[in-house]
Amino acid sequence: MKQPIRIEDEAQFLDPKLVKISHNQFAELQAELPDGSVHAPVEPVRTFPLTQPDQYISLLDAQKNELGLIEDINQLERADRTLLAEELKKCYFMPKITRIYSLEGQFGVTQWEAETDSGSVFFDLRSRNDITSLSGGRVLIKDIDGNRYEIVNYHQLDPKSIALLETQI
Amino acid sequence: MHSGGFSRRDMHRMARSTGRRSNARRPDAEMTILEEVPAALQRQLESVLEEKEDIKIAISTDLQFDGSYGKDWVLATEKRLLAFNQNGVPAPEVQNIALEAIDEIEIRELYGNNFMKVRTSEGAVEVARYSKRLAPKFAEATPEIETLIDKVKPEDAEKSKRHRKFVDPGKKKIRCETCGRPIPRWSDVCPNCVEKGKLLVRLLKYAIPFWKVSVPALLIMLVIRLVGVYPPILSKNLVDDILVPATMAMTGGQPVDPGAFGQLLTIVFMMVGAHVFTAVFSAVRGYMMTWVGQRITLTLRNDAFQHMSVLSLDFYQQRETGNLMSRITQDVGRLRDFIAEGLQDIIGDSMALVYMCIIMFVINWQLALWVLLPIPLIVLFSFYFGHKMHKVFHVLWRRYAGISTILASTIPGIRVVKAFTREKYEVDRFEEQTHQVFEGEMNAAKLWTLYQPIMTFLTYIGTVLIWLVGGRQILNGELTLGEIMLFMTYMTQFLQPVRTLAQMNRRFLRAATSAERVFEILDTPPSVASRKDAVDLPNMRGQVEFRDVFFSYDNEKNAINGISFTTKPGEMIGLVGHSGAGKSTLINLVTRFYDPNEGDILIDGHDSRDIELRSLRGQIGVVLQEPFLFEGTVADNIGYGKPDATRQEIIAAAKAANAHDFIIKFPDGYDTTVGERGARVSGGERQRISIARAILKNPRILILDEATSSVDTETESRIQEALGRLIQGRTVFAIAHRLSTLKHANRLVVLKEGTIDEIGTHEELIAKGGTYANLCEKQTELSKIRAW
Ligand SMILES: Nc1ncnc2c1ncn2[C@@H]1O[C@H](COP(=O)(O)OP(=O)(O)OP(=O)(O)O)[C@@H](O)[C@H]1O
Ligand SMILES: [Mg+2]
């Protein structure tokens, strides 16, 4: 009798010890895969950008075809991991809001002024739906232009920021 | 967590010491690609640039390479590209790249930020990092830089990869041109710049039509309140003029005034009279105001629903059904309470207070002052408390809305819930929500239970003061027993209006929140609407022309990316393409469920936005990809688009859609109810009913989006055949993955990622051997395997 297929096997993970990450001369990410093939440019994609930023990283080639998945970047060799982590940090820019200075507007169409770990910033929202609150007080914000911001735990902001934020969530 | 070590207070203190406001300036909405270069940079430039070398392009970024906000610069002259990286302040790092060396300028669009990268034959560097806000500026600057490159390297201007289209014309206007504020996604108008009355004034507008009832009701209330202060005066008279003199007389051994009992009787009668009067008129007034309130609800609710039905699809996509439902059901009710009761309460209660104050001050102003002493305390407390309460209620309201949301999503999805045996999960989710409601209610109750004793105590202070001060005055002979009783009674009567007035602000707030939510519906202009000067197009021929049409649902990714083609009247166009190519989107634009962000759709040569929506949609028949039937009978559903349709027409349409045969097999025939969303008929049956519905309208343009995807091939070919007869002289857009469905199509349009990949007749496309030919081949192969 045939064994039923195991669904887990469908996702093909790359052996982390055999993946080599580097930059090519065009400052593009280059990956050598376990089968010995070398690809550049390679685009790393977080498959769970919000919940598991460092796990399940998909590597795409220039045609956006998946080359393979890396289960956890921490399994990579140190040098490879640093390069990949750096590239991911560039590719996913989501400042963390530490304080909200002002928040004005109505009907969810709001203008914000906030402090983030990248500096202070102004941004606009066009709908309350662009604010997602997750468990543990985590809040994700997507502004009108498509920029993203994150509040790690809004309960830990200062009272004024909390009060401002609570009008929106 | 990085801030885990700080308490809230610490954070607060720290935040204070760092200053209240950031010093960031709001970035200009204006975008120019030749910005003014700051003086410091200007000086540096002088050392780099040659004589007579002009800056052609100067754009600043809003991000630095280390990912912090700040300004870097990218400049271009006719000779070189310069990038200033200010991270290296005071001696900024400069990238200096000769234009000749540049092979390509690349824009990397990433999550939350973009990069501009310059590629030469030897290598590549990133020259700018910027947020999405500046994306349009960089998209505009890039081709300009490329033009400069072409000037120094004319020889390979042709063959280079440059001049790819970076400018993304599909973007909708997202900020108001006058005030720079964001424009809601579902609207084209800046809500801030639309003239809008204050919420209250607008609310009052709804009460005005009923003034003939509400004004008399108000008058009655004023009289009731006036009469209401009278009984205590009567008691005072009773005590002071009859009972006390009688007691005195008796203690003095003298006879009691024989007329005293008569007086007593009169006063008691008056008291009873006053009470009966108040009771009767309160009842009458109550009825009147209920009528007014219900009329207001009626108007408001219908207005809101009426307006909601006009609103475009994007409005609905932004909101949860449960949320919208509660606006129409609950919020409208709350507004009614406020307009009908709240406002009159304010007036009535204030008047009652004024009456009582006057009387007390006339009788004994010193004591009156003492009585009023705790009032500010009561007001303050109620005020503060109302504020707290509002917060709690707001949270509570959201939790109740959460219940509706869960219900609104699980009830229609119950099949999926059962199929995946997730009943428990859904029940748990629901229970969690109801628990939250429970907690919210208990929080509210906690506040209330605290409120009562505190309030009682504050009032008690008043009573004590009256005993103390008034008692002393009695001892001094400055006050009578009846008067002190009157003060006592007023003290208690005072309380209720003071409390209501103090909590008025909470009622205002609640009403304001509800008003905001209802008015949001009423104020949102539909993004797709007939223009004022829109014309009727009574006899549409059905020529549809797409002119450079761009469309994006979310302003991030274009679903339609520059489509131009024209259909002849009466032509059948087959739309093919892989899933997600934009087929449904394209026909959504024809029906004007959405308007293109850029480009025009012309119908018989008229811009579709100039055609009255009713007239346009009245002549378009659509079968949507997910056919939706309403609760009602089969006949109701077929006749939905043509309410005056005869039975005969309904049967004819059903026949054409090949629905007649299965319908008459239902025991109830055309009178069969289909259930909510048509849940009681099969998928293919639902499709056929909706085809019949579209055909019955006798539309000039017929749109079939995968209209026969769930029916067997035989039935399909029968529908095909009937349609073949019916579509004579009509323009048809048919979308299908099963290519055999499109065998009657005059021309086929192959879509790919929102653009036209191929267009032509079946034969032409087969001969061309492109995407379509490929698809055809695969499907024939498939059918061969199947046949075999
Ligand atoms: N309401 C929406 N909001 C946001 N994006 C949408 C919406 N509807 C469709 N899209 C996106 O627009 C693109 C085109 O969708 P469309 O429905 O036109 O595809 P289609 O060609 O009809 O595909 P299918 O054959 O699967 O029906 C897809 O990428 C889809 O994800
Ligand atoms: Mg579709």
Quick one: which H or E segment has residue B492?
helix B481-502
Q: A156, B3: Cβ pair inside 8 Å?
A: yes
Residues A72 and A140 in one domain: no
Question: End of a domain among A41, A59, A91?
Answer: A91
Residues A82 and A102 in one domain: no
* A79 inside domain: yes
Of B246-260, B262-276, B364-378, B547-561, highest mean pLDDT: B262-276
Residues A142 and A67 in one domain: no
Which two tokens mark B738?
């099963």
**Is pLDDT at B572 greater than 80 in this prediction?**
yes
Residue-level pLDDT at A1: 53
Residues A25 and A80 in one domain: yes
Q: What is the mean pLDDT of residues B306-318?
A: 81
B186, B528, B555, B583: residue to mutate for ligand 1 pocket, most atoms within 8 A of CB: B583
Residues A61 and A126 in one domain: no
Average pLDDT, chain B: 82
Q: Give distance in angstroms: CA of B587 to centre of ligand 1.
A: 11
Indicate whether residue B659 lines ligand 1 (CB < 6 A): no
* A130 inside domain: yes
Enter the DSSP assignment of B172.
P
DSSP secondary structure string for all residues of B571-625: -EEEEE-STTSSHHHHHHHHTTSS--SEEEEEETTEEGGGB-HHHHHHTEEEE-S
Residues A59 and A107 in one domain: no
- What would the pLDDT profile of B226-270 be if each residue is shown by its tens digit? 898 888 999 999 988 888 888 888 888 888 778 888 888 999 999
- What would the pLDDT profile of B523-532 be if each residue is shown by its tens digit? 777 777 777 7
Ligand 1, atom 26, residue with closest C-alpha: B579
Question: End of a domain among A42, A76, A91?
Answer: A91
> Across the A/B interface, how many CB contacts are shorter than 8 Å?
136
Reported confidence tier of residue B91, pLDDT bands at 50, 70, 90? low
* A2 inside domain: no
List of chain A residues whose C-beta atoms are within 8 Å of the C-beta of residue B119? 26
Residues A53 and A114 in one domain: no
Residue-level pLDDT at B188: 59
Considering only CB atoms, B11 lies closest to which of A110, A127, A158, namely A158
Indicate whether residue B553 lines ligand 1 (CB < 6 A): yes
For residues B141 and B503, the model is more confident at: B141
Other C-beta atoms closer than 10 Å to the C-beta of B765 total 24
CA distance A141 to A133: 9
Reported confidence tier of residue B3, pLDDT bands at 50, 70, 90? very low
Residue that is written with structure tokens 């008690």 in the block: B460
Ligand 1, atom 31, residue with closest C-alpha: B580
Q: What angle do CA A57, A62, A66 make, to 5 degrees?
A: 40
Q: Which of A82, A91, A93, A146 lies closest to A118, judged by CA?
A: A93
Q: What do you get for the CA distance between the two ends of chain B, in Å?
A: 64
Are residues A72 and A88 in contact, defined by beta-carbon separation less than 8 angstroms?
no
Q: For residue B588, which atom of ligand 1 is closest to its CA?
A: 18
Residues A138 and A77 in one domain: no
Q: Give distance in angstroms: CA of B586 to centre of ligand 1.
A: 10
Residue-level pLDDT at B311: 83
Least confident of A46-60, B25-39, B469-483, B519-533: B25-39
Ligand 1, atom 4, residue with closest C-alpha: B553
Query: CA–CA distance from B7 to each of A52, A99, A125, A156 (Å)?
Result: 27, 15, 30, 8
Residues A14 and A81 in one domain: yes
**Is pLDDT at B145 greater than 60 in this prediction?**
yes
* A80 inside domain: yes
How much of chain B exceeds pLDDT 90, in percent?
A: 11
Reported confidence tier of residue A152, pLDDT bands at 50, 70, 90? very high
Tell me whether B9 touches chain A (CB under 8 Å): no
Question: End of a domain among A26, A59, A91?
Answer: A91
CA distance B34 to B194: 33
Q: Which of B662, B652, B653, B651 lies closest to B684, judged by CA?
A: B662
Q: Which of A163, B183, B340 lies closest to B332, judged by CA?
A: B340
Domain that holds residue A102: 97-166
Q: B181, A109: Cβ pair inside 8 Å?
A: yes
Reported confidence tier of residue B190, pLDDT bands at 50, 70, 90? low
* A1 inside domain: no
Residue-level pLDDT at B22: 39
Q: What is the mean pLDDT of residues B297-306?
A: 87
**Is pLDDT at B715 greater than 90 in this prediction?**
no
Reported confidence tier of residue B165, pLDDT bands at 50, 70, 90? very low
* A60 inside domain: yes
Q: What is the mean pLDDT of residues A32-53?
A: 89
Q: Parallel, antiparallel, or unpaired: how do β-strands B747-752 and B755-760 relate?
A: antiparallel
For residues B786 and B617, the model is more confident at: B617
**Is pLDDT at B284 greater than 90 in this prediction?**
yes
Residues A107 and A142 in one domain: yes
CA distance A149 to A120: 12
- For the CA of B624, the nearest ligand: 2
Nearest CA in chain A to B129: A90
Is 0.80 surpassed by the pTM of this model?
Answer: no
**Is pLDDT at B9 greater than 70 in this prediction?**
no
Residue that is written with structure tokens 């949001």 in the block: B520
* A57 inside domain: yes
CA distance B154 to B156: 6
Residue-level pLDDT at A156: 92
Distance from CA of B586 to the nearest CA of A (A): 24
Least confident of B236-240, B370-374, B399-403, B724-728: B724-728
The pairs formed by B406-410 with CB atoms below 8 angstroms and a separation of 24 or more are: B406/B322, B406/B430, B406/B433, B407/B322, B408/B320, B408/B321, B408/B322, B408/B325, B409/B322
Tell me whether B24 touches chain A (CB under 8 Å): yes
Of A76-85, A122-131, B21-30, B149-158, highest mean pLDDT: A76-85
CA distance B460 to B500: 18
Tell me whether B193 touches chain A (CB under 8 Å): no
For residues B322 and B714, the model is more confident at: B714
Domain tally, chain A? 2
Residues A85 and A122 in one domain: no
Residue-level pLDDT at B505: 65
* A14 inside domain: yes
Reported confidence tier of residue B519, pLDDT bands at 50, 70, 90? confident
Residue-level pLDDT at B157: 59
Reported confidence tier of residue B453, pLDDT bands at 50, 70, 90? confident
Reported confidence tier of residue B750, pLDDT bands at 50, 70, 90? very high
Indicate whether residue B575 lines ligand 1 (CB < 6 A): no
Residues A86 and A68 in one domain: yes
Angle between helices B365-372 and B423-465 (to 10 degrees): 150
- What would the pLDDT profile of B591-635 be if each residue is shown by its tens digit? 888 888 888 899 988 888 888 888 888 888 888 888 888 888 888
Considering only CB atoms, B184 lies closest to which of A98, A118, A126, namely A126
Q: Which of B741, B755, B746 lies closest to B577, judged by CA?
A: B755
Q: What is the mean pLDDT of residues B333-347?
A: 80
Indicate whether residue B582 lines ligand 1 (CB < 6 A): yes
Which residue type, as a one-letter code, is found at position B366?
A: Q
CA distance B739 to B419: 32
Residue-level pLDDT at B156: 65
Are residues B597 and B772 in contact, defined by beta-carbon separation less than 8 angstroms?
no
Reported confidence tier of residue B428, pLDDT bands at 50, 70, 90? very high
